Amino acid sequence: MSYGDSIVYEKQENIGIITFNKPEMMNLVTQAFFKELYEIQEEIDNDKSLRAVVIKANGPHFSAGVDLSILKSIDSKFIMDNLAWLQRLYGRWQEMPIPVIAAVHGLCYGSAMELILGCDIRIASRDARFSIPEVRFGLSPDMGGTVRLTKLVGIGQAKRLIIGCDEISAEEAWQIGLIEILVERKELEERAMKMAKRIANLPPVAVRFAKKGINVADESSVNAGLLFEQAQSTFCCGTEDQNESIDAFFEKRKPVFKGK
């Protein structure tokens, strides 16, 4: 384990908590950041006890984006050799069977904004500011930004934010659908953890299929989505967890799920 410098990872019961931890550098995204994030993702994938993940940051800002000095030191060959891996790094949140919640405050720029676009649910405090300014630096977003932002907020807003390099407030981000929940700064982490704990207490197989089903619906036809619903319902009906959830409801007690 070599993470812990740029990013801290800990568990609270069955919830994984990822914390960006370079506030003196505005939590800039560096090559060390990428390596640490990958190691944490590997640990999360191998931990079958986890039921949700929360991503947050120490200091006044979530992240000011990529360290621009990186861009001065790479060329096309580096991109050809590494970009597919980097894209999967941010897209991997969607491959995980458990929900990933981003809790954002302060600046969330560029690469950091692409990272939260890959999460399942985005919660932001009112002091948050969002920008995806890669075009300003002679690039276009290349870690899922053009794809995921367009799906999330629509083609017009995506063009305005990416081509126009507009910076928007948390209020506007909420209005256009970039974030799902808007809270006061002092409530941010509590709100994210409250949601994570609620999800963690739901039947894990049902949560897994619900996440996959929504992803299938987003990426394919209505017919394909309905076929997936049929398959997941066939699997889930009659499982131990489903029976336990119904029994607990009628018996007015807290359910105990085994993931079966």
Identify any residues that bridge with 66 across adjacent strands, giving them in sequence order: 29
pLDDT in tens, 185-242: 999 999 999 999 999 999 999 999 999 999 999 988 898 888 888 888 888 887 888 8
What does the pLDDT read at residue 1?
63
C-alpha–C-alpha distance, residues 157 and 252, integer Å: 46
pTM, entire model:
0.92
Give the residue ranges of the chain where pLDDT is below 70: 1
List the catalytic residue out of 10, 13, 39, 114: 114
Q: What span, in angstroms and rounded, lies between the C-alpha atoms of 76 and 53?
A: 34
Q: Is 134 a catalytic residue?
A: yes
- pLDDT at residue 191 in the model: 98
What 3-state DSSP class applies to 193? helix
pLDDT at 77: 85
- Annotated active-site residue in 10, 42, 95, 134: 134
Specify the pLDDT at position 245. 83
Q: Which parts of the chain fold into alpha helices (H)?
A: 31-46, 68-72, 76-95, 110-117, 145-153, 155-163, 170-176, 188-200, 204-219, 222-236, 240-251
In this prediction, residue 80 carries a pLDDT of 86
Give the per-residue pLDDT at 2. 78
Work out the angle at residue 181's Cα, subtended by the Cα atoms of residues 177 and 186, and round it to the nearest 5 degrees: 140
Give the CA angle between residues 20, 67, 44 to the nearest 5°: 35
Write down the pLDDT at residue 237.
82
Q: Report the C-alpha gap between 31 and 28 in whole angstroms.
A: 10
The one-letter amino acid code at 185 reads R
Smallest Cα–Cα separation from 120: which of 14, 208, 10? Answer: 208
Secondary structure (3-state) at 177: coil
Respond yes or no: is residue 114 known to be catalytic. yes
Look at residue 72 in the predicted model and tell me its pLDDT. Answer: 77
